[in-house]
Amino acid sequence: MHFKLKEYLHPDFNAPEFANAPEASLLPAVMNGAAPEGYHTTTIFPEYFKVHETWLLAEKSRMDCVAVLEGTRILVKELRNIKQGDMIFIGCTENGEQGIYVHANAFLESQNATSKGNGNGNADSFAFRQGRSRETSFSMDYDTLYEQLRYEKENGYIVWVVGPACVFDADSRKAFSRLCANGYVHAMLAGNALAVHDLEGSYKNSALGQDIYTQITYEGGHCHHLDTINRVRQLGSIPAFIREENITEGVMYQCVENNIPYVLAGSIRDDGPLPGVFTDAYKAQDAMREHASRATVVICMATTLHAIATGNMTPSFRVMPDGSVRQVYFYVVDISEFAANKLRDRGSLSAKSIITNVQDFVTHCSRNLMPLLPKDA
């Protein structure tokens, strides 16, 4: 099996419905941080706006934002980032009637619904297991993902959104470290806890005071994560801690060692937090979006809130440097069906869920992607 990108179906703007469509309407923002009434709300899909008889694509998009005309480019901004005088696109319809077209069916779908039973190439109208649940067969998803990650390693931008469960276990922590060390992680989005417990694993061989292999609780282990945070704060930064404490393994070590950018977004419940954690939610969102807008594949593991946040700022497509448009693939991995399928309820319909223990998932990925590579963390 070799991974192949789906073809992007460009709209035929010579068709009468587009050629005869009106110019998109614009109104200026009358104040900072708010749009005029009737503004167009963006989606995860490619969106075109008719300006001076030309249909322009908003190249860097995200859902729940507004489209702004700036020269011959269309920028997509959050409401909080609107400036007085910005020219905002107006219109609630999406099929060209108001000069706005949302291209929801931009990528060819594979014909994997062919029924072998009737041989007529059509899926049965009644069929079992059409959703994504613990009973779903995920074997093909795994095989496709392995091939995709091999492709994306050289041709794309792989963003992992990681919860602390990934580093509570010795094998999964080592597995994700291997992925970092061998080029399968181009950016990592996480919270304070992921970094804390990974560094605790390096510093104390524990996660929340529990041995990361035997699960035996150390005497006084409930202080281990706080001791780790305190030491990092004494030294001023995660890289300084890694250097001064001679840390030579772990996820954060691999990120620092291999110059993998990471964003640690804080929350109200954080201990510490570690130096470098974003405590301003909007600054964290901006930093996360920087990587979400570059992503070609996003894999979210065991972190519902960070997965939803990333899903809401990741479009279903990306315009590449050569001008081509390609699909962005989005995976959510969680042992909870509710958590893994939550993004579908929030409009991110391109998200594919895999219901499994995230520690097993990342270990499988590492073993199948790098079965012969000796470069372990």
- Give the per-residue pLDDT at 185: 98
Residue 244 identity (one-letter amino acid):
E
Q: Which CATH architecture has domain 16-102?
A: Beta Barrel (2.40)
Give the span between the Cα atoms of 258 and 252, in whole angstroms: 10
**Region of poorest pLDDT, from 53-57, 102-106, 132-136:** 132-136
Give the span between the Cα atoms of 60 and 237, in whole angstroms: 32
Give me the residues paired with residue 101 across strands: 48, 95
CATH code 2.40.420.10 region(s) in the chain = 16-102
What's the topology of domain 139-369? Rossmann fold (3.40.50)
Helix (H, G, I), strand (E, B) or coil at 375: coil
Instruction: Answer whether 61's CB lies under 8 Å from 76's CB.
Output: yes
Instruction: Answer whether 167's CB lies under 8 Å from 198's CB.
Output: yes
Give me the residues paired with residue 331 across strands: 299, 352
- Give the per-residue pLDDT at 294: 96
Instruction: Answer whether 262's CB lies under 8 Å from 250's CB.
Output: no
What percentage of the chain carries pLDDT values higher than 70? Answer: 88
pLDDT digit string, tens, across residues 269-319 = 899 999 999 999 999 999 999 999 999 999 999 999 999 999 999 999 999
What is the C-alpha radius of gyration for the chain, rounded to an integer number of angstroms?
23
pLDDT at 372 over 60: no
**Overall pTM > 0.85:** yes
pLDDT digit string, tens, across residues 308-366 = 999 999 999 999 999 999 999 999 999 988 877 777 655 445 678 889 999 999 999 99
- Give the per-residue pLDDT at 345: 56
Give the span between the Cα atoms of 339 and 91, in whole angstroms: 33
Helix (H, G, I), strand (E, B) or coil at 37: coil
- Give the per-residue pLDDT at 337: 85
Task: Give the residue, 112 or 82, on which the prediction is more confident.
Answer: 82
Mean pLDDT of 133-160: 87
- Give the per-residue pLDDT at 132: 64
- Give the per-residue pLDDT at 108: 66
Give the span between the Cα atoms of 69 and 199, in whole angstroms: 45
Instruction: Answer whether 361's CB lies under 8 Å from 354's CB.
Output: yes
Instruction: Answer whether 19's CB lies under 8 Å from 96's CB.
Output: no
CATH code 3.40.50.10690 region(s) in the chain = 139-369
pLDDT digit string, tens, across residues 175-187 = 999 999 999 999 9
- Give the per-residue pLDDT at 274: 98
Helix (H, G, I), strand (E, B) or coil at 211: strand
Mean pLDDT of 86-114: 83
